Structure 1
Amino acid sequence: MPKKGNRKRLKFRAVDVCSESVTVADYADSDPAVVKSGRVKKAVANAIEKEVKLLCGLEASHGAVEEVLSSAGNIKIDGLDSSDDLDAEEGAIGETKVIHKKKSKRRKESRESSDGQDYPVDIWLMLSSYIRPEDVCRFSLICRNAWMVTCTTVFWTRLYRRHYRMDVDLPFWLQPDCIDRTCSLRARVIRSLFHLYEPFSSRVSKIPAFPESTPTSLLNSKCLLFWIKKMTGTRPEGLWEFNFKFLKQQNKKNGRAKSLRMPKQYEDVHTNSNTDCYMLQVSTFNFIFTPVVMGMTLTLFTINVSTDMRHHRVRLVFQDSPIQRGRKRGDYGSTQVVLDPVHSVRLLDWWHPQYPLSQ
């Protein structure tokens, strides 16, 4: 019997090897039962290498084809492990690093040269006279000078005078005589726009008497004030209004970007004692005795159907401290307020025209 070493090996030619003759069994991820070695045969690899060189015109470059074949399936090719090839690879890697450094430097220089022109504040102040109220935030995000303009007294005074109409009945503290005061100018102008500016006033008029879903923004909010008053001149007659003023809890995020510091000369313009405050107004058909909840934290707020199946029922649960994240709410030591039957439920922001304010 002939020895195993004398078996005649099959010879592959580059002309015979094409994309159709290469099978799945020639790759490293193939079934080990088909290919026991787990890698491409040397003859097939050399034939594929020659064909790729001929197609790509890379007869002179030996390292580029090697990179393509090795990155395609982590294929180990025999005969390419010599020290000369390693040195050639290291040289090619060094050249690519230098090229990448040059490209990154050029890109950095092009970015610095294409930053644009820095316009003075006077130009941004002139452009601000044509900004709509709903675009003030977008305008302030253009650049630092545009943001500086939105901090000035001139910007908010012009915005108020541009939309002021004498036929609109404004509260006393929103009249033009009070607008001339610098303190809380921004807050007063924003409140006046919900009376004067049609897109804002129509938005307020479309707010329903009952929210579509129970608001979750009040959870873990602190009750600052609480009072009850009887409403007169309303339909139906004899409604009682329960007012809860809440201060929304501020969530501090780690890694938050530092905000721009407000100039000292414009700090009074942006002063607002009602920032992050909400007013919950619940109207009932009769007077309901409720405990004192000022200084407590709201941990539960639900709106359900009343017992008579014709109205609504509001339930508020207060605790001495807010619920920490990840912990369940406990009824121990809590104060419960149940209002039933309810006529309407409204959640008012500080800029709402019906937000109770005396300044």
Structure 2
Amino acid sequence: MPRRGNRKRLKFRANDMSSHRVTVADFANSDPAVVKSGRVKKSVANAVQKEVKALCGLAASRVPSEDGSSVLSENGQYGSSDELEDIGNVNGISSRKKKSKKQKESSITDLTGGDYTIDIWLVLASYIRPEDVVTFALICKKAWTVTCTAVFWMRLYKRHYQRSAYLPVRLLPECMYILRSLRACVIRSLFHMYEPFCCRVAKNPSLPESTPNTLLNSKCLLYWCRKVEPGSRPAPLWEFNFKLKKLPPKQKNHCLNGLMPPAEYKEVHFNPDQDCCLLQVTTLNFIFIPVVMGMTLTYLTINVSTDMRHHRVRLVFQDCPVMNGKKPRGEQGVQIVLDPVHSVHLLDWWHPKYPFSAMA
């Protein structure tokens, strides 16, 4: 018997048909420790196809690979499935087509859509409800530009104008041709005439629960008090009004951020009461209040009065705002205590009872 040392090992030769060694472990009933994925590798399958092509001829080269993404061409090289589109289905395996660069470019151009003139958007804007104006403006930049024009707001006003509705002098039709603050005036008029907006005002509470938080760090622009007629009450009431300018809300991921109205429509969008509100506190008696105009509201609480029948309002004004949720110190700033309080109302700039100048 020949010695084991004289046995020659089977080595790979350069003239073999395949560059990959095909072993039993690459097929079924093999050791799972050897083949972890349980499927034939792509390189093994392509090597087998190359050997079969050389033995059986060109017909064998038409068999697609396992994933159907690459096949063999006539010269024995690998080619894409776009070059063999007429093969069809072989042995129940369908070949998938890859999109060429031209097809991808054409698909991208199809997704961009058409560019319509601003006149078309102006016609479509004539059918937009007042509550859908923001949604319409977010469609594209031309739709947003339409909502900046004076024509858009005048058509919106005329569409919902009612002669029976009571309107302030500035909101009457003969005064609406003034371009200055046209947008703000149309929005105010809609809360007098448009039924969904009127119902919204009637359903909203006079003082929302989030009022103490939303008014923090608001600047007091104006303050006044007036005597209210007694009516059915035996004694008159006193109404204290604080005109506050709230901090602009944080707008995240909003498409209209950074967009300014065109220069020719700045007068239309001018609104001196933007982000302003009126804190209206009605008391049973007159209470002396120091001057707080120009100061910042840093603390506001509404509690039950000592008589358990009314409210008690406490306000603290300081020279500078308090950031990071810190509470102001009691000895700092100006403290105002209103007790007993008959009612508390918070009116936004678009509210029908919000006082605004006729020259706005």
Would the TM-score normalized by the shorter structure come out above 0.5?
A: yes
Q: Which residue of 1 aligns with 2:275?
A: 276
In the TM superposition, what is the alpha-carbon distance from 1:327 to its structure 2 partner?
A: 4.2
How far apart are the structure 2 equivalents of 1:248 and 1:158?
31
Identify the match of residue 240 of structure 2 among 235, 239, 242: 242
How far apart are the structure 2 equivalents of 1:255 and 1:159?
28
Note the 1:156-195 alignment, pairs <5 A: 156-195=153-192
How far apart are the structure 2 equivalents of 1:343 and 1:314?
10
Identify the match of residue 201 of structure 1 among 198, 201, 205: 198
Q: Which residue of 2 aligns with 1:60?
A: 45
Contact 1:214–1:303 (8 Å) recurs in 2: no
Q: Relative to 1, partners in 2 of residues 1:206 and 1:253: Cα closer, same or farther, differing over 3 Å? A: closer
Gaps of 5+ in 1: 1-11, 18-42, 63-94, 96-101
Deviations 1:75-105, CA, capped at 9 Å, x for gaps:
xxxxxxxxxxxxxxxxxxxx9xxxxxx8899
The normalised TM-score by structure 2 is 0.71
Secondary structure, aligned partner of 1:138: helix
How far apart are the structure 2 equivalents of 1:198 and 1:255?
31
Q: Relative to 1, partners in 2 of residues 1:138 and 1:160: Cα closer, same or farther, differing over 3 Å? A: same
Contact 2:227–2:239 (8 Å) recurs in 1: yes
How many positions carry a matched residue from both structures? 284
Secondary structure, aligned partner of 1:123: helix
What is the aligned-residue RMSD (CA, Å)?
3.0
Q: Which residue of 1 aligns with 2:34?
A: 46
Q: Which residue of 2 aligns with 1:211?
A: 208
Note the 1:304-323 alignment, pairs <5 A: 304-323=303-322
How far apart are the structure 1 equivalents of 2:253 and 2:114?
31
Moved more, 186-195 or 328-337: 328-337
Q: Which residue of 2 aligns with 1:227?
A: 224
Letter paired with 2:244: F
Note the 1:257-272 alignment, pairs <5 A: 259-272=258-271
How far apart are the structure 2 equivalents of 1:161 and 1:193?
11
Gaps of 5+ in 2: 1-24, 48-79, 81-98
How far apart are the structure 2 equivalents of 1:132 and 1:324?
39
Q: Which residue of 2 aligns with 1:346?
A: 345
In the TM superposition, what is the alpha-carbon distance from 1:111 to its structure 2 partner?
A: 2.4
How far apart are the structure 2 equivalents of 1:291 and 1:206?
35
Letter paired with 1:331: G
How far apart are the structure 2 equivalents of 1:137 and 1:103?
40
Q: Relative to 1, partners in 2 of residues 1:326 and 1:284: Cα closer, same or farther, differing over 3 Å? A: closer
How far apart are the structure 2 equivalents of 1:114 and 1:255?
23
Q: Relative to 1, partners in 2 of residues 1:110 and 1:300: Cα closer, same or farther, differing over 3 Å? A: same
Letter paired with 2:295: M
Q: Relative to 1, partners in 2 of residues 1:326 and 1:280: Cα closer, same or farther, differing over 3 Å? A: closer
In the TM superposition, what is the alpha-carbon distance from 1:118 to its structure 2 partner?
A: 0.8
Matched, 1:139 2:139: no
Letter paired with 1:330: R
Note the 1:14-163 alignment, pairs <5 A: 44-48=32-36, 51-53=38-40, 59-60=44-45, 107=104, 110-163=107-160
Identity of aligned residues (%): 55
Secondary structure, aligned partner of 1:268: helix
Q: Relative to 1, partners in 2 of residues 1:105 and 1:234: Cα closer, same or farther, differing over 3 Å? A: farther
